[in-house]
Amino acid sequence: MAERSFKAEVEDLRLGAGETFTGEGILALTKALLENGVAYVGGYQGAPISHLMDVLADAQDLLGELGVRFEANANEAAAAAMLAASVHYPMRGAVTFKGSVGVNVASDALANLASSGVTGGALVIVGEDYGEGSSIMQERTHAFAMKSQFWLLDPRPNLPSIVQAVSDGFELSEVSNTPVMLMVRIRSCHVTGSFQTRDNQRPKLTVKDALSNPRSDFARVVLPPMSFAHEQDKVKSRWPAAEKFIRERGLNEVFGPKSDFGIVVQGGMYNGLIRALQRLGLADIYGDSQVPIYVLNVTYPLISGEFLEFCAGKDNVLVIEEGQPEFIETQLGSFLYRAESAVKLHGKGLFPLAGEYTGAVMLEAVTGFLKTAAPAMLAAVVRAPNIDRPAIPDLSKTVPIRPPGFCTGCPERPIFSAMKLVEKELGKHQIAADIGCHLFASLPPFEIGGATMGYGLGPAANAAFDGGGERRPIAIIGDGGFWHNGLSSSFTNMAFNKSDGVAIVVDNFYSAATGGQDVMSSRADNATKATKNPISKALAGIGIEWVRQIDHTYDVKKMRDTIREALTTDAPGPKVIVASSECMLNKQRREKPLRAAAIKSGRRVESPRFGIDEAVCTGDHACIRLSGCPSLSLKKLDDPLRDDPVASIDQSCVGCGNCGEVADAAVLCPSFYRADVVHNPSAFERRLAGFRGRMIGWLQRRRDAKRLVFGGAA
């Protein structure tokens, strides 16, 4: 069950020539693929392009009508390998995944693809996840494009430019026999706008047609001596063909008047630059700029002649390149040096070496450049009224960081509560983490797991510690990571090397961190995917015998006892615990509408809620330290004899019961209670509730009458 459904929006993908499409960037990307006769599409979900995969999944009926093959791949490497279809066949293919991390996983297939070259257009749509909105290490796709020679498109973030980039990307790939990367940033994926549509096109050669007429060419195989010829072909044929196409088609753009200064900007940063110029009074709301701008919609390869033409007659040029190292700035500086140009190049220094170029960063850097390059212009313009603001104080030492954490009711929380209880009993263990929601356990209050090496590599990251010691190492991995890469790279590694370590597979039924997509072990029926394949059976298939399946992670006692058993048993070989409970977010997405409909129809519905008896709670807060649920917080009492706040459960509680289970397993206190909220109760239940209310009220009044009341003088 994906986080978001696009069933309604995908109907707009059927729009024909001359009609207007309005929507998000990810929908526009899909429409552009269909308009350009794509034959096959694959990919792996991951921010910021998770929704692109969801759109494609919801549009499978339309894809089938057009003869387009779509596959949700097991990982990015499998997705990239699909592009092999474009090596020998003149078929257009596209795959998509998250920027640098997806490229890292897919690097073997991508490097081979770049070496052999392509006959049909091959497009890799990478979601660049850089800056403060990112969930990954801060790296750029640009380095891989340079290393393997992929042409890299970075279009301006508006729908017409994004759609045009898809068309240009396919043609550029075919003209130069080179795969092309199309980079869409977070803002590009979710920007809204409109563009004029064209008719969808059936692929000129479908996958079915290709199967009827197989082709092969050993010159495309990446083996000596062909691989040596591939490198020469890149330099002598593919690169010149790409440069010629880029120049003739005008893929890069120049805006503004001629002047003795100018700005070079990555296409994806164009909107931020224009906004900064607007605030300085040097551009209007339509983007008309008083400053010359050279927009690099193609950031690799850079076109020397085109850049030098832009620099002609200029004294100062600013390069806006987000991220590090400064590949573009260095290359442009090389062009100027070889041309013996006196143009002064500005970039890093005015801009920070690393970090996201937010609106404030962009405004400050552009202002600094104009103070040097065009001080008279800067002094003459009428600036926005809010241009001069008080400096924002540094609050990093005052305001605590707010890293991500487990959702309310998350079934992974009790797993780590149980681990903390075992740690108290057996001592601290070496723990390796993995990519996924469970990585939040490395943060307070659990502080479990100190490193992660990649999706599906949690157990493999513990291999160095698996040589026999006083305490067994523990690895954490999710079901998404297990199927992505973990089964082959981590668990096969454990089985082959006769590991004595412990691995806990956190099975929440979905690839939850990327939006709730189904995986092999998902419990739900899926019309197009094979689900209901138990993780325990896959482990047995590679020879791991000690496997314990837990189907209710909220049973903290059972979790604790099973983890203790894994750490203390004399059984040889890997010890694996598969801890299964459904992701609470997906469960609530499914159950809340059904519950609301039942209540609206007048049916009797019970909703469990948990609370804390303030009179019983001792206020030691151990329950919070062992749970960390967002719904579990502190409450100050009015009782003057109770100085310390007590624990309290707020209205966001989803009734999972974890807090009470933890309190019971840890022998904390009996202050937790469960109350079932009854919607549309029967007549008998209403009468019983009324009687109970009157009885409780009478008992409360009798108790209050016996209390001593201390009052001041009137």
Query: What's the pLDDT at 655?
Result: 76
Same domain, 283 and 187: no
Query: What's the pLDDT at 243?
Result: 97
Residue 675's CATH number: 3.30.70
* Residue 638 belongs to domain spanning: 604-705
Confidence band, pLDDT 50/70/90 cuts, at residue 433: confident
**Cα–Cα distance, 447 to 428 (Å, whole number):** 11
- Nearest to residue 99, comparing CAs of 323, 424, 327? 323
Asked whether residue 350 carries a pLDDT value surpassing 90, the answer given is: yes
- Which is higher by pLDDT, 620 or 432? 432
Sheet holding 180-185, edge to edge: 69-72, 40-43, 93-98, 122-128, 180-185, 151-153, 298-300
On whether residue 385 sits in a domain, the answer given is no
Same domain, 121 and 221: yes
- Which is higher by pLDDT, 268 or 5? 268
**Cα–Cα distance, 436 to 264 (Å, whole number):** 38
Counting residues of the chain whose pLDDT is more than 90, the rounded percentage is: 45
The domain boundary residue, chosen from 227, 248, 269: 248
Confidence band, pLDDT 50/70/90 cuts, at residue 386: low
Query: Region 252-279: what's the mean pLDDT?
Result: 94
Same domain, 512 and 625: no
Inter-axis angle of helices 159-176 and 25-35, nearest 10: 40
- Nearest to residue 680, comparing CAs of 611, 610, 596? 596
Asked whether residue 2 carries a pLDDT value surpassing 80, the answer given is: no
Asked whether residue 519 carries a pLDDT value surpassing 60, the answer given is: yes
On whether residue 132 sits in a domain, the answer given is yes
Radius of gyration in angstroms for the set of CA atoms belonging to the chain, rounded to a whole number: 30
Name the one residue in this structure whose structure tokens are 């924002």: 392
Query: What's the pLDDT at 380?
Result: 65
| Structural domain count, the chain | 4
pLDDT in tens, 111-145: 999 999 999 999 999 988 777 767 777 788 899 99
Asked whether residue 710 carries a pLDDT value surpassing 70, the answer given is: no
pLDDT in tens, 551-585: 999 888 999 999 999 999 999 999 999 999 888 88
- Nearest to residue 77, comparing CAs of 42, 46, 108? 108
The 10 Å Cβ neighbour count of residue 268 is: 26
35-39, 218-222, 467-471, 679-683, range with greatest mean pLDDT: 35-39
Contact 124, 73 (CB under 8 A): no
Same domain, 569 and 501: yes
- Which is higher by pLDDT, 644 or 474? 474
Same domain, 108 and 167: yes
Same domain, 431 and 507: yes
Residues with Cβ within 8 Å of residue 142, at least 6 apart in sequence: 152, 299, 300, 323, 327, 328
On whether residue 710 sits in a domain, the answer given is no
The domain boundary residue, chosen from 365, 380, 395: 380
Sheet holding 253-255, edge to edge: 253-255, 293-296, 261-266, 316-320, 344-346
Cα–Cα distances (Å) from 11 to 14, 22, 27, 641, in that order, read 6, 12, 11, 64
Query: Region 441-466: what's the mean pLDDT?
Result: 83
Query: What's the pLDDT at 458?
Result: 85
Residue 559's CATH number: 3.40.50.970
The domain boundary residue, chosen from 586, 620, 642: 586
Which residue type does 178 have?
A: T
Asked whether residue 473 carries a pLDDT value surpassing 60, the answer given is: yes
Query: What's the pLDDT at 300?
Result: 96
Query: Region 230-236: what's the mean pLDDT?
Result: 91
Contact 126, 102 (CB under 8 A): yes
**Cα–Cα distance, 207 to 210 (Å, whole number):** 5
Same domain, 124 and 41: yes
Same domain, 243 and 258: no
Q: Which of the residue ranges 78-82, 494-498, 624-628 would you say has the lowest mean pLDDT? A: 624-628
Query: What's the pLDDT at 172?
Result: 97
On whether residue 374 sits in a domain, the answer given is yes
Q: What is the b/e burial string over 694-703, where b = at least 16 CB atoms within 10 angstroms of the residue's CB? A: eeeeeeeeee
**Cα–Cα distance, 118 to 13 (Å, whole number):** 28
Query: Region 42-53: what's the mean pLDDT?
Result: 81
Which residue type does 76 have?
A: E
**Cα–Cα distance, 335 to 311 (Å, whole number):** 11
- Which is higher by pLDDT, 200 or 643? 200
Same domain, 422 and 550: yes
Confidence band, pLDDT 50/70/90 cuts, at residue 387: low
**Cα–Cα distance, 119 to 112 (Å, whole number):** 14
Q: Exposed, middle or buried: residue 473 (CB in 10 Å: 0-12, 13-18, 19+)?
A: buried
On whether residue 598 sits in a domain, the answer given is no
- Nearest to residue 435, comparing CAs of 467, 473, 483, 472? 483
On whether residue 11 sits in a domain, the answer given is no
- Mean pLDDT for all residues in the chain: 87
DSSP per-residue string spanning 447-489: -------STT-TTGGGGGG-S--SS--EEEEEHHHIIIIIIII
Query: What's the pLDDT at 392?
Result: 73
User: ∠ CA(99), CA(30), CA(171), 5° rounding?
Assistant: 80
Same domain, 487 and 370: no
Query: Region 480-494: what's the mean pLDDT?
Result: 89
Counting residues of the chain whose pLDDT is more than 70, the rounded percentage is: 95
Query: What's the pLDDT at 369?
Result: 95
On whether residue 668 sits in a domain, the answer given is yes
Same domain, 235 and 256: no
pLDDT in tens, 646-691: 888 888 888 777 776 766 665 656 778 888 888 998 999 899 989 9
Asked whether residue 184 carries a pLDDT value surpassing 80, the answer given is: yes
Confidence band, pLDDT 50/70/90 cuts, at residue 371: very high
Helix (H, G, I), strand (E, B) or coil at 674: strand
On whether residue 8 sits in a domain, the answer given is no
Asked whether residue 68 carries a pLDDT value surpassing 90, the answer given is: yes
- Nearest to residue 661, comparing CAs of 559, 544, 527? 559
Same domain, 420 and 365: no
Cα–Cα distances (Å) from 114 to 87, 117, 148, in that order, read 10, 5, 6
pLDDT in tens, 598-653: 888 989 988 888 888 887 887 777 777 777 788 887 888 877 777 778 888 888 88
